[in-house]
Structure 1
């Protein structure tokens, strides 16, 4: 196993552990909130329960997605299976949206009801436990995201971050409705929770869609990558620089100009030197370099022929 393959295996295992931690937390919270929602009849707590139920399904989908994304490239998937993570994230978005609509409707129908909330203390205690458990999971997920860049775990983490506010809202709703006598607060907070979930679904979908649409890396990342390549002395220019993400893996490709007087062996040595430098600096990125003699024009398409290196050579000079 090469060093790059070893690193990818470690990252995949770490991502899978994060997904399993998410599943375990979701099942624990579902059981706890199920009992509390049945006992208290709170709309806000019912919304929190529905969210936890969807968390279980979404976390299972995330676990499947990261495991599928970790599979190596095969004959039918030469670029690997990384986009399975983005598909898992979009599935989560669909579940969150459905949950928001159902909770919102339940809150609207409960606005005119005078049914009291039974045992609000239980609901508050359960929400506090849920907040503590969710904070621990989110802290763990953030470390995994920083190490792997997993879009599925990131979508899962965004959902759980919303859950923290959701549980705080449940506590506020129970206190206002039962202890301060503000009738209808529970239903109103249920509607607010539904709106929050819908907004979170919209935000979570953007990153997954960017991956499926092969959106370019942020410009600062592109510039850092180019800087490593042009640091190799024999590089004369880079154009048609393209990047994309797929799960925990990144891909970059570009045309690189070298002195047209170099023979094929010398030119190949330059390519290998650039590849080695890039792999050392960006071990998660798979790079493809097309070699061009200096002054060569591939096409009349200005986007393809755009030279991304002039300012780097001015700095070098």
Structure 2
């Protein structure tokens, strides 16, 4: 073998084949004045250019990563395939222009035994080269070799069309030569567009769907206790590159997590041998409820009713998991004329009804609000009352431990509130954010002319 690397070797012999085919087609095409054969000669000449590009692209892509190309040189194959697509389309342009010229100004086409012989030889050579190129392209996942194989495959189709055109010319139907040239151009355009789309997707880092399906199915089957956070994949020449983030149970040690990551990487490379993938490990956020569970709880809390009592509204519902237990906070709006004793009985009944449907809920913290049609506006002289309302609202939430500071800025009946509140350090950020949103919402209901509320949260030390 002239070259040790089979990719480089098969690319080199494609250059030799392209030179041979271009030469014999050009000689016979000029001698017979056949547009079909001349179109084939130009097609083979451009195949030669494409084969040279492929040869150097494959040679460069085989180089290992260096200080200037951390991810290797694989993209050169995608780029060369795009250039080859452009070359094919240029070929089509020339063939179509020449065909239109010959429609308007017919030329005499001389047919002899060499006309048929050169096309038959071309079909045989093209078949052998396309088969060899495609075999190595599949083995090495080389897009450049695949593009080169496509060039030789189109030659087979177009040569068959030209051969049929020559037969019709031989039986006194000369326009068939021009028609054959146009059909060749149409075939090349269609195949070029398909190759171009695939190449552009690779250059733009379009995700390879088959590989994603293989990886996700493998993780679901072999590592169902882990959570797939993110999977990103892209093609770079013959290689698939990607990164994967998985969440492991909090009980896993650093060493255990590292072993799991190595195991996953090893098995993925067994499934996809041309992949370079980086595995990141992160702990599961086990304090969060799944979205489906949260939605189920929310629907039940919102829709539960107490017989004989009209609950004006249930709102500001928050559900959270804390120390492996589930809690709920919510506000119930009742008739303002209802006695406190009766209102308390209503909330107790409501809680029992909810727990009969959701026994896993540890407790439900309920804030009772009177339903009123009118709300008053607060001004500068009401700063003390604003502060009192804010403290009252914060006391509704058991995970708010302390109000560290609080300030009120009043100007022309517009109020700006700034505060720092201390929360339980064990809650997650999502829960802390929901609580601050509820505090802000409650405050706006009681003081509608607040212009801005800024609440900063800190963990309890």
Instruction: Determine if the TM-score, normalized by the shorter chain, exceeds 0.5.
Output: yes
**8 Å contact kept, 2:57–2:80:** yes
User: Whole-Å Cα distance in 1 between the matches of residues 188 and 224 of structure 2?
Assistant: 53
Deviation for aligned residue 1:21: 2.2
1:199 paired residue number: 190
1:226 paired residue number: 216
1:51 and 2:49 matched: no
Per-residue displacement from partner, 1:222-268 (whole Å, max 9, x unpaired)? 22223434555585111211111111111121111111122212211
**8 Å contact kept, 1:69–1:84:** yes
Deviation for aligned residue 1:69: 1.1
Deviation for aligned residue 1:37: 0.9
1:292 paired residue number: 282
1:214 and 2:174 matched: no
1:103 paired residue number: 95
Secondary structure class of the residue paired with 2:53: helix
**8 Å contact kept, 1:108–1:191:** no
1:251 paired residue number: 241
2:318 paired residue number: none
User: Whole-Å Cα distance in 2 between the matches of residues 50 and 58 of structure 1?
Assistant: 12
User: Whole-Å Cα distance in 2 between the matches of residues 274 and 169 of structure 1?
Assistant: 51
Of 173, 179, 187, the match for 1:188:
179
After TM superposition, list the pairs within 5 Å mapping 1:133-212 onto structure 2: 133-177=125-169, 179-212=170-203
Query: In terms of mean alpha carbon deviation, does 64-73 or 235-244 score higher?
Result: 235-244
Q: RMSD of aligned C-alpha atoms?
A: 1.9
Per-residue displacement from partner, 1:35-88 (whole Å, max 9, x unpaired)? 111211101111000001101011000111111111111111111110100110
1:265 and 2:242 matched: no
User: What TM-score, normalized by structure 2, do the two folds share?
Assistant: 0.59
Deviation for aligned residue 1:169: 1.3
**8 Å contact kept, 2:131–2:149:** no
| Unaligned runs of at least 5 residues, structure 2 | 288-461
**8 Å contact kept, 1:232–1:274:** no
After TM superposition, list the pairs within 5 Å mapping 1:55-134 onto structure 2: 55-134=47-126
Q: Pick the structure with more helix per residue.
A: 1
User: Whole-Å Cα distance in 2 between the matches of residues 250 and 161 of structure 1?
Assistant: 26
Secondary structure class of the residue paired with 2:138: helix
**8 Å contact kept, 1:215–1:244:** yes
Deviation for aligned residue 1:274: 1.5
User: What TM-score, normalized by structure 1, do the two folds share?
Assistant: 0.84
**8 Å contact kept, 1:258–1:293:** yes
Secondary structure class of the residue paired with 2:16: helix
User: Whole-Å Cα distance in 2 between the matches of residues 49 and 213 of structure 1?
Assistant: 34
1:35 and 2:27 matched: yes
